[in-house]
């Protein structure tokens, strides 16, 4: 099978929509298959625009006859329930210890709460495996997992450790950058897109938090509550450093306006476009 792990940001949205086009014009995009399955993992706290982009892709797939599934992934709920009480998956929060030493947590959230979830869904729901059942020889490295890394992210490309899957990165092979995917989606499909990441993702620039405060007050309030939880509690490990969502290593509520002038943008027809981070 050929499966797309869809985060519903610019890159994976472009892959999904190109696949939809291929159902009408076969081989229009030769490196992109008509996917057997496109999967979005709802991690519980994506920005509003991400869910709007999910609905757009879902509708396009419905019209093209491509299977699209939304899997509920409890990353956000698990953190609210377990942080400070029991072991939680590592999110790459920025750290600061009592001596002022800066660091960063490991990034395991994507693998544990997204890629791993998709692999289990394919194995159990689509291929009919039972828990603990040995992998059949015909399934060993037999299925493609397509991931929407763009050309400037080629360093992130790696082999899939799962015995059933091979990772594929069509956008890297096509030489398409994030801005190219944005232009394709806007020019061909009329949709303006932004990057996909949880609201509490530490890869956001401070501008993201300011944008959330000004335009999505409910989500901003929930983000502040999550940030305060990081201030009050400690992960149940040997780590005693303070954890921060903001790369400035400050609580989000304490960010100054001049610290939020760091939006990542690219050019589209002479216009500055914020990429969503």
Question: Which pLDDT tens digit goes with each residue over 63-72?
Answer: 999 999 999 9
- Look at residue 237 in the predicted model and tell me its pLDDT: 63
Look-up: residue for tokens 């396009």? Answer: 60
What angle is formed at CA 150 by the lines to CA 145 and CA 155, rounded to 5 degrees? 85
Of 183, 177, 176, which Cα lies nearest the Cα of 270?
183
First to last CA, the chain: 32
- Look at residue 21 in the predicted model and tell me its pLDDT: 98
Collapse the DSSP code of 6 into the 3-class scheme (helix H, G, I; strand E, B; otherwise coil) and give the result.
coil
- Look at residue 236 in the predicted model and tell me its pLDDT: 65
- Global pTM? 0.95
- Look at residue 240 in the predicted model and tell me its pLDDT: 78
Mean pLDDT for each consecutive 10-residue tract of the chain (277 residues)? 97 98 96 98 95 98 98 95 91 93 93 94 95 94 97 93 96 97 98 96 98 97 97 78 96 97 96 96
Q: Which stretches of the chain are assigned E, i.e. beta strand?
A: 2-5, 37-42, 68-72, 94-96, 102-104, 143-147, 165-168, 242-244, 265-268, 271-274
- Which domains does the chain show, CATH number per domain? 2-274 (3.40.50)
CB 171 within 8 A of CB 9: no
Q: How many residues does the chain have?
A: 277
């Amino acid at each position: 099978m050929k499966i797309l792990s869809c985060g519903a940001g610019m890159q994976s949205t472009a892959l999904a929509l190109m696949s939809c086009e291929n159902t009408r014009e076969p081989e229009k995009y030769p490196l992109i298959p008509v996917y057997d399955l496109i999967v979005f993992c709802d991690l519980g706290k994506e920005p509003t625009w991400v869910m709007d982009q999910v609905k757009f892709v879902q509708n396009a797939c419905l019209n093209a006859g491509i299977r699209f599934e939304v899997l509920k992934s409890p990353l956000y709920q698990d953190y609210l329930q377990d942080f400070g009480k029991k072991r939680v998956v590592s999110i790459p929060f920025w750290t600061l210890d009592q001596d002022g030493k800066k660091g960063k947590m490991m990034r395991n959230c994507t693998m544990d709460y997204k890629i791993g979830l998709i692999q289990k869904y394919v194995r159990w729901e689509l291929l009919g495996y039972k828990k603990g059942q040995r992998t059949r020889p015909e399934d060993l490295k037999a299925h493609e997992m397509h991931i929407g890394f763009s050309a400037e992210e080629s360093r992130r490309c790696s082999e899939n450790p799962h015995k059933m899957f091979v990772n594929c990165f069509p956008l890297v092979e096509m030489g398409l950058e994030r801005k190219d995917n944005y232009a394709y989606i806007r020019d061909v499909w009329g949709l303006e897109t932004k990057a996909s990441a949880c609201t509490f993702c530490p890869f956001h620039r401070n501008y993201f938090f300011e944008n959330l405060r000004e335009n999505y007050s409910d989500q901003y309030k929930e983000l502040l509550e999550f940030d305060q939880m990081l201030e009050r509690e400690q992960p149940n490990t040997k780590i005693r450093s303070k954890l921060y969502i903001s790369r400035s290593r400050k609580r989000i509520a304490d960010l100054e306006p001049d610290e939020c002038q760091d939006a990542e943008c690219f050019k589209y027809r002479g216009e500055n476009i914020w990429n969503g981070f």
